[in-house]
Amino acid sequence: MTTVRPDTVQVLLLEDAAQFPAYKDAWQALERETHQPCFFESYAWCGHTAEVLSRTSPGQYAPLVAVALRDGAPVAIWPLSRQRRSGVWQLRALDDPFGQFAGMLYSDADTAHTLVTQTLDLVRQRRLADVLHIDRVLSGTPLEAALLGRGAQIRGEVGAPVIDTLQWPSIEALKSSRNKKTMKNLRNSMNRLSKAGHHEHRVETGGAGVNSIVAETLRLRSAWLDTRGLTAPQFRSAAHEPILFGGDAWQLDSLRAAFELRCGDKPIAYQWGFVHQNRYYAYMSATEPGAMLLSPGRLHLAFVVEEAMKLGVEGIEMLTPASDYKMVWTDTARRLVNLVLPLSAKGRVHDGVWEGAVRPALKALFYALPVGWRRRAVPMDAAGAGDQE
């Protein structure tokens, strides 16, 4: 544990998940105070992912959680990790590559800025990382402002659709606000589903019921990627299944929710995610290939939105990418940016040569290959690996 004291704020670096429980109450209090989506910075998620990644990637991963204390009380938390990639130590989000948003917990913007500034100074002083590379930072937040202020550059951005359900007293009120032609097409799809056979929607919260849906979703997502000669870093990780199926020790299981759409006696679509601070995060979805004529992804999302509203959530975070079938339900997408900041001479070389030239060229070549060749080539990352219409 390392500390530094700028003015009235003391900054600590927690470098082992075993240190997290001492800050549980304060960590969860900051979750309630932070007025932005913060599941991926939550105590339950961070504790679980840090523990699993530390165990499955020894020598390649280490948590590095920055905590700002004022008068001994935590007032901001920035969950980070050190990850060995492409020959350099990188400062990344604690849950990378499993997170969907990157942010921090804070009581006020000034403290958040101080925490970022002092953490980067500590990392440089101790030579803990060569380059900062944080993907999917929520735009318009103190974290983005602080990093841009320190010279970080934006290297790509994506959109993440979100529904503010507090605007609508019911699913019917939400539907009435949307494009009439699109809603008519959705009704026609519902009619086709009814003609195809009896249909029902299953909802599970926690336990074995959720695990069965998670398992089927993973099976279908893996197959979907494989048929396209694609992969994603989380699917290649040894931590994949332990992270997505575990978490009881950190009370993560109680936050999980899962949904299944059946037609006749067969499931045709799945989705699962997390409910945290009255928001539902749609983490992963998949559909059965044999049911594509029924538009199962579009239909299932309609059921999920309705069920999530019944749960009383204040918002539905549909996460990346901003697919057309998600934008049916909203006009709003959060802007997420990828930020890069070299922290050493080695980091500057890595950023300029590997990230700036070699990797983009290899990626372009990879996607130009036929699907069969891509399956045998060194894998490149697919965008939206958790999403399937």
Tell me if 383 is assigned to some domain: no
Domain co-membership, 109 together with 61: yes
Domain co-membership, 205 together with 285: yes
Q: Indicate if the pLDDT at residue 380 is higher than 60.
A: no
Question: CA 183 from chain center: how many Å?
Answer: 29
Domain hosting 221: range is 161-334
C-alpha atoms less than 13 angstroms from C-alpha of 336 in its C-beta half-sphere: 23
C-alpha–C-alpha distance, residues 307 and 258, integer Å: 10
Domain co-membership, 54 together with 86: yes
What are the tens digits of pLDDT across the range 220-242? 998 888 888 877 888 888 999 99
Tell me if 372 is assigned to some domain: no
* pTM, rounded to two decimals: 0.91
In DSSP terms, 334 is beta-bridged to 160
Residue 307 pLDDT grade (very low, low, confident, very high; cuts 50, 70, 90): very high
What are the tens digits of pLDDT across the range 180-226? 999 999 999 999 999 998 899 999 998 889 999 999 999 999 888 88
Is the Cβ–Cβ distance between 103 and 37 less than 8 Å? yes
Q: How many domains would you assign to the chain?
A: 2
What's the confidence (pLDDT) of residue 251? 93
Tell me if 388 is assigned to some domain: no
What's the confidence (pLDDT) of residue 7? 56
Residue 89 pLDDT grade (very low, low, confident, very high; cuts 50, 70, 90): very high
Domain co-membership, 211 together with 79: no
Tell me if 375 is assigned to some domain: no
Residue 6 pLDDT grade (very low, low, confident, very high; cuts 50, 70, 90): very low
Domain co-membership, 48 together with 114: yes
CATH assignment at residue 323: 3.40.630.30
Domain co-membership, 209 together with 328: yes
Q: Is the peptide bond before 321 cis (omega within 30 degrees of 0)?
A: yes
Domain co-membership, 166 together with 154: no
Domain co-membership, 137 together with 238: no
Q: Which of 139-148, 276-285, 292-301, 327-336 has the lowest mean pLDDT?
A: 292-301
Tell me if 113 is assigned to some domain: yes
Domain co-membership, 170 together with 309: yes
What's the confidence (pLDDT) of residue 5? 47
Tell me if 64 is assigned to some domain: yes
Domain co-membership, 196 together with 61: no
What are the tens digits of pLDDT across the range 340-370? 999 999 999 988 887 777 777 877 777 777 8
Tell me if 384 is assigned to some domain: no
Antiparallel, parallel or unpaired: β 315-317 and 153-164: antiparallel
What mean pLDDT do residues 241-257 have?
92
Q: If you average pLDDT over every residue of the chain, what do you get? A: 92
Domain co-membership, 165 together with 154: no
Domain co-membership, 169 together with 291: yes
What's the confidence (pLDDT) of residue 4? 44
Is the Cβ–Cβ distance between 272 and 211 less than 8 Å? no
Q: Indicate the residue type of 83.
A: Q
What are the tens digits of pLDDT across the range 47-81? 999 999 999 999 999 999 999 999 999 999 999 99
Tell me if 371 is assigned to some domain: no
